[in-house]
Structure formats: structure tokens, C-alpha cells
Amino acid sequence: MKKFKFALFAFMVSMMAFTFASCSDDDEVKDVSVTGVTITPQTLELKEGTTGTLTAAIAPANATKKTVSWTSSDEKVATVDNGTVTAVAEGTATITVKTDEGGFTAKATVTVTKDIPPFDESKYHFDLFLTVDKHGGMSSKNITIVNSTSSLNADKGLITVVREGAELGYYTMESISKGKYYYQVYSPKGSGSGDRFVKYQIKDNKIQVVQEQKFDKNGNTYKARSYTHAWLDDNTLLIMASNGDNSKIIWTKLNTADMSILAEGELEGIGVPEGWESLTTSGILTYRQTDNKLFYFYYAKRKKDSGNPMRAIKESNFRVAVINPESMKVEEQSVSPVEAEMAGSAYGELMQDCVMYDEVGNLYLACFVETDTMEKGMLLRINAGETKFDPSYNGYKNADGKLLTVQYMGNNKAFIYARNDNAPTVEIGGKPVGPTKIDGYSHYYAILDLATGEKTRMSFGGKELAYSGGRFSQRSVIFNNKVYFGTNTKEDDNSIMYIYDIKSGNVEKGAEVDGRFFFDMIRVVEND
């Protein structure tokens, strides 16, 4: 009996074990594998110092292991902690989320911008350079007066310089301006020999000299007007030109804060090419900040065996020197792909903006070539990151004359000042004056599409603006998303200022300048 009871008990225990084991197998939860991950939102815009949230969604929703890791491509721009993004500094970063199981990834782009306060135009003013009776421009002997005005809107009315302007005297329009100040090589009593560099302001209808620096090292002296320049930073100014006999290139670096000479010397690697006698007086110099390179455009003059003493004899293709701004060594040289002359080569952009850059760092240079029928304008380009001109690019294909100034407006558009060599002949003082003459009325403003080369003449009130007089100088400025430009037409008694709103595309008529004075140049200057 005992044996039977024991057997029965053993049987019951074994059955219970079997039952429990069966129940455990039936109820077991199987692991669900991760098949992917998505991120929301895929783009995130933040101001510096703010935070935003990115959310990761694991697929499938019932996946067993849902742990992920977060990384930023640039923690100097944005950091990420469990999906919370902190904006550190202006720029763009890629945030990546990665599943621990399977290594699946998803990405989001974070753009960090500065919280820039509205631009305060009241901190600046316009300086209008005006000449008496007739335009001034390059090497003008006419009296030049500067009128400072806080506004060029129509409610400013008629601007006159009678008792409201500073006469330049032996200072010239061929100057450098930045911030509150003007800078230029000064020629005492108009001698043409510049032995000093002067920093000055135009205040209270007077030229007020702030500081002077004599060029007394290594015998470097510069001719007034005949030099080129580039800003390496807010205070470091590089000026450069050929020496007295135009046989070599000299340079000087100045700290404009205290007008001290940082360094100066002769540019190594550039000399008069074989068969030529001299170099251009200044050329054009520009600094490309994106890759810390200087570009110097120049050419040789006066062929030795030509038998022609004319100074105008020059190389058909200008040269490009790439310079290291720290060592001032020429790193490489090339020749322009077309026969052309730089528009501002005589005065190194002291009078005219001939070089511009777009958002990505492409460099554009205005130039021209003399044909049998016209001085044909061209716009050449050195692509970002490259050092030679793109031979396939000419952004000014439909030239009707010389391209004088170029200013980049954004969105692949430039504001230009150009000449039409086929403009009508006008009568001045009872004599016919053709469009290419220095006093001719043949100049116009236009918007240039840099991709297509299409030009759109500036209009007002549904009508193209009349041709303006004035061959040289810089008659437009871009300031706070607006272009301010002036015209000197034969039809109007006064010089008229116009204002083009870059964002809206609207043109409005602004202030007028007393017709006794010819509008030549405009600068934006920071208030003292």
C-alpha cells in the first residue's frame, strides 16, 4: 500500500512539473528585432544659446531594444544630449541618431544663426563727393567738395554744398574708407610724390587729420593715386604699387588703429618680363578670406623693341599673382585666359569697385578689351578654392561698351555701372559730344544676372533712367539691403539720387543735388 501511495505521489509530482513546463513554453515572450529608425524633425533652425528637441522613432514600434546614441558632427556649432540640441555658435551641424541594436541611423540638419538685432542706420551717414560745374573723376583738377548727409530719401529735398561741404583741397577722391575714417597716400601741395600715409575724417565741413605715417623704411614711397590696397582684417591694411621707375612691386602693411608700419618690402617673384620695360603703376589687389590668399592682377608695359614710346603699349593678357599674405611671397602665377585690361588698374579700386565675391567665395573681376568698334566689357571669374580664371566663364556676354563697376547684391545678382558706346551723341555747349568722350552721356545702371549674363536697366516710373554723364568714380553704394545710386543726366537740372530695394525690387526717387555741382562718388561712413 505504501508503495502504491508513493508511486501515486511521484506520478502526480511529475505531472505537475510537466504542466508547469508546458505553461512556461507557451507563455514565453520572444524578442522583436529593430528594423530601422527615423528622426523628427529632419531640419532644425535655432538661435545661438537656445535649445531644440529631436525625436527618434524606432521601427517597429514593439521592438524589444529601443536604446539609441546621439552624436553631433560639429560640437562647436551644436551639441546633443538624448535628443536635446543646444545651439552653440553660428553654423551648420548634422545630428545623427544610431540604434544600439542593428546600428541603424537617421540624420537631421541643425542650422544655428545669430540673434542679430535690427540694423541701426542712424549710426552711419553718406558722404557725397561733388565737383563744381563739371564731373571730376580720375585725376580731376576740378574743385571737389564733400557733403555729409544722414539721409538720401526724398524728404531730404535739395542738397547743396554751399556752406555745407568740406573742400578736399590736395586730398583726392582716390581714397580708402572704412568705418569712421578715410586713408590715402598724401601728396603735399599736389606734387604727386607721396611720402606719407594719412588717416583723416571729414567733420564739420573740414578735413580733420587724425594721424600721419611717413614711409621712411627701405626708401618706400608711393605716388598719390597710383597704388592698390586690400584689408587683411579690420585694422590691417596692405598697400602695394610699383616703385618709382615701375621696375618692381613694393608693399607696406599698416596697423590703421595707430598708423604704425607693421612690415614693408619688395614683392619677390614679380619682375618686369623679358622684352618689356616696366610694370603697371598699381594693378588690382584683393584678399580672399575663405582661403587666406591675395590675388594681384597686373601687366607689363612698353615693349622694348616696339619703337613706340607711348606708355599705352602693354601686354594683351594681364597676369595673376597669388600671394601669401603672411610671408608676402608669390605662390604661383598665371596669365588671364582672354585679352583684356582691368578697368581700375590705374588706381587700384580707389575710384571704382572692380572686384566682388559671392556667397561661396567666387571672385569676379571687371575688365575690358579694346576692339575696332568699342571698349568691350567683360566679367571674369575665379571659382571658389581655385587660383586661375575659369576659361569657360564670361558673365558679361552682351557687352555694349565698358563695364566700369560691379557690386554683389546676393542671389547671383550684381549691380553694375556700364557704358553704351552706341548711345546717342548729345550737344554740349553747342558742340556734338559722342558717347565715348569723357563728357558724353552714355552711362547707365543695371542689374546683371551672373548665371545668364542678362542685364536689366534700372527704371523708375515704368521708364528706363536716362543715360548719365561721368566716366569714372563710384556712384553707387550698397547699404542695408539697398542700393543708393546717383545720376547726372542731360535732361535733369539736378543730379538725382535713386534707392533700389534689393528685397522688394522697388526703385524710389530720393534726394536731389544742386545742379551747380556734379555728383561723382558716394561712401557710407560710420558716425563718430
Largest CA distance in the chain: 149
Q: Give the residue among 492, 489, 380, 398 at the shortest CA–CA distance from 446.
A: 398
- Residue 4 is given by DSSP the state H
- Low-confidence stretches of the chain (pLDDT < 50) are 1-13, 15-27, 311
C-alpha span between 492 and 511 (Å, rounded): 13
C-alpha span between 329 and 265 (Å, rounded): 11
Q: What pLDDT does 116 receive?
A: 75
Burial of 281 (0-12, 13-18, 19+ CB in 10 A): buried
C-alpha span between 129 and 364 (Å, rounded): 27
Class in CATH terms, 36-113: mainly beta
Dump pLDDT digits (tens) for 295-329: 999 999 877 665 555 545 788 899 999 999 999 99
Residue 208 CB: number of other CB atoms within 10 A?
11
Residue 19 CB: number of other CB atoms within 10 A?
10
Q: Is 124:527 a contact under the CB 8 Å cutoff?
A: yes
Q: Is 355:286 a contact under the CB 8 Å cutoff?
A: yes
In three-state secondary structure terms, 41 is coil
Dump pLDDT digits (tens) for 175-215: 999 999 999 998 776 555 677 899 999 998 899 999 999 87
Q: How many CA atoms lie within 13 A of 220 on its CB side?
A: 25
Q: What pLDDT does 142 receive?
A: 76
C-alpha 283, offset from chain centre: 19
Q: Which amino acid is at 159?
A: I
Show the cell assigned to 270. 614679380
Output the CA torsion sign for 115, 119, 122, 127. positive
Q: What pLDDT does 20 receive?
A: 43
C-alpha span between 296 and 393 (Å, rounded): 20
Q: What pLDDT does 13 receive?
A: 44
Domain range annotation of the chain: 36-113, 207-350, 352-471
Burial of 85 (0-12, 13-18, 19+ CB in 10 A): buried
Q: Is 238:253 a contact under the CB 8 Å cutoff?
A: yes
